[in-house]
Structure 1
Amino acid sequence: MTRSSTPVRSLTAIGTALTLTLGLAACSSQDTLTVCTSIPYEPFQFKDSWQDNKVVGFDVDIMDLVAKELDLKQEIVDIGFEQIDSGQALEEGTCDVAAAALTITPPREEVMSFSDPYYDAKQALGAKPGSKIKTLKDMKGKVLGVQRDSTGFAYADENQDKYEYDLKTYNDLGKLREAVLYDQVDAAINDVPLWTSKVTDDQRKLEIIEKYDTGEEYGYAVAKDNDELLSTINEVLAKSRKNGDFEEIYQKWIGED
């Protein structure tokens, strides 16, 4: 969300309850809510080859609900995850909302404001079927893949001395997954639903070897001073849980209990 005091559009047509001085980021259309993400991060946001590479996923559907509440259309901005993680994209007005399966952490809370949590995310160790790796203890002297700037990286880095593996970092989930498939690494750590989606939807399956409850929660983020938009996001999350929209979207893209 930009720090500008000039709103993208007049919201009076929405009704006084939604007349917000949002200061929405300057973008190609005055009728859009710009949402920054980093693709691919299936099942939260990715390009669907069956729909002409349209960006789809859990976060996309939830942000559509937010945009609808504001009588706007969602415009997705695909950028490097480091620009989201640092708060740069929100600070500079590249987007109004960051929706990228973003774990709420104290360092991130210093540079952006988070919505209420919407997903409890555990970490998981993934490997090829038939792998001899059964636990992190088996990774001694081997190469563990992680995604740069992710909480999976933080977990792997914290335990590296204990289990004596080498770390190899990748910029996105797609490259990380390919590294496991083509034996560039022996195993990899990332969020559970990201492995689960691949396990169920891709013929080149990977197995979840081990899960780690790190107490992580995902949230949507806005610029530090954008309380109005943050309040709307929280209202939409609460409303969608009540009317069943959240459950429908959850089962559509994630499906686990």
Structure 2
Amino acid sequence: MLRRLSTLLCAGVLVAGCGSARGEVVAGVPLVAAGRLTTCTNLPYPPFEYEKDRRVVGFDIDMTGLVAKRLGVRQRVVDFPFEVLKTGTVLNAERCDIVAAALAVTGDRERYVDFSAPYFRAVLCVVVRRGTRVDSLADVRHRRLRVGVQSGTTGADHTLAAGIDPRSYATVDGQLDALRSGQVEVLVQDCPAVSTWLQDPRHATAFTTALTVDAEQDYAFAVRQGEHPGLRRLVDEVIATARRDGTYERLYRKWIGVPPVRAASPEAG
């Protein structure tokens, strides 16, 4: 069951062991809470993680669910701001065992967490209102269009690198609301999230993807740096097995659509 951030903080700060259940070691893997794999994420970010019928579901959640199944424990998902996920703060504070949040691998993030093998490759989409034409981020900068990004993401990084000072939003929902309301004219976000949003006819009739940014990025799961080699190895094994036995392709089709050949192949990633 999802527990909100406010229930997971002690005195307003993350503290190791604060209010958590006693952990245990399962198959050589230390867990922060007995009998469960605790997964930290950032909601909502469909199709990877979001709430439906009072449950957290999505591609990431099903993939980490395979890890929990391999360990013979249940999965518990908790929601945190993206900033404390990408820096490993929640892992170091022993609030979770693994981060599953469509987290792109970057050199900077590798300073704070250990990444699993990649499990998904994404590109960035630039979204505008229909009738608006943009040719590149340089064009957006030249025309001084208002740009919205999700704070702390690679989309924000690429926008800043293009010389654009964007408006930042804590969640993808806030970012999309800004585009709908006209606070921003351009949105930069990972294409899978954009595609899911544009599946809604109300959005598809008003907005469109103007271009993709040539910046492929791999998503991976994150564990505490240096301390959980057993868990990282297990996650890598689960990803590899899922690719080989067809589970990965089945989940990809369930949540995202038809996978590209490289995404479904055992050698992908």
In the superposition, the TM-score normalised over structure 1's length comes to: 0.86
Q: Aligned ranges for residues 142-153 of structure 1 at < 5 Å?
A: 142-153=145-156
Tell me which of 135, 156, 160 is aligned to 1:157: 160
Tell me which of 30, 36, 40 is aligned to 1:23: 30
Match of 1:45 in 2: 49
Given that 2:105 and 2:217 are in contact with CA atoms closer than 8 Å, whether structure 1 keeps it comes out as: yes
Identity of aligned residues (%): 31
Letter of the 2:38 counterpart: T
Letter of the 1:53 counterpart: R
Unaligned runs of 5+ residues in structure 1 are 12-18
SS of the aligned residue for 2:23 comes to coil
Match of 1:8 in 2: 23
Match of 1:250 in 2: 252
Letter of the 2:47 counterpart: P
* Alpha-carbon separation, structure 1, partners of 2:156 and 2:165: 12
What root-mean-square deviation, in Å, do the aligned CA atoms of Structure 1 and Structure 2 show? Answer: 2.0
Given that 1:3 and 1:23 are in contact with CA atoms closer than 8 Å, whether structure 2 keeps it comes out as: no
* Alpha-carbon separation, structure 1, partners of 2:200 and 2:249: 20
Structure 1 window deviating more from structure 2 (73-82 vs 121-130): it is 121-130
Letter of the 1:55 counterpart: V
* Alpha-carbon separation, structure 2, partners of 1:83 and 1:10: 25
Letter of the 2:32 counterpart: A
Given that 1:37 and 1:77 are in contact with CA atoms closer than 8 Å, whether structure 2 keeps it comes out as: yes
Distance change (3 Å), C-alpha of 1:132 and 1:211: closer
Aligned residue pairs, count: 237
* Alpha-carbon separation, structure 1, partners of 2:22 and 2:110: 24
Match of 1:237 in 2: 239
* Alpha-carbon separation, structure 1, partners of 2:84 and 2:136: 33
Match of 1:79 in 2: 80
Over 2 Å off, 4+ runs: 6-11, 128-136, 201-206
Following TM superposition, by how much is the alpha carbon of 1:66 offset from its aligned partner in structure 2, in angstroms? 0.7
Given that 1:133 and 1:187 are in contact with CA atoms closer than 8 Å, whether structure 2 keeps it comes out as: no
Match of 2:172 in 1: 173
* Alpha-carbon separation, structure 1, partners of 2:132 and 2:214: 23
Following TM superposition, by how much is the alpha carbon of 1:129 offset from its aligned partner in structure 2, in angstroms? 2.6
Following TM superposition, by how much is the alpha carbon of 1:203 offset from its aligned partner in structure 2, in angstroms? 2.8
- The C-alpha deviation readout for 1:115-174, integer Å capped at 9, x for no partner, is 0011111111012233344543145222111110000000000002xxxx5410000101
Match of 1:200 in 2: 199
SS of the aligned residue for 1:235 comes to helix
Given that 1:141 and 1:166 are in contact with CA atoms closer than 8 Å, whether structure 2 keeps it comes out as: no
Distance change (3 Å), C-alpha of 1:182 and 1:68: same
Distance change (3 Å), C-alpha of 1:135 and 1:214: closer
In the superposition, the TM-score normalised over structure 2's length comes to: 0.83
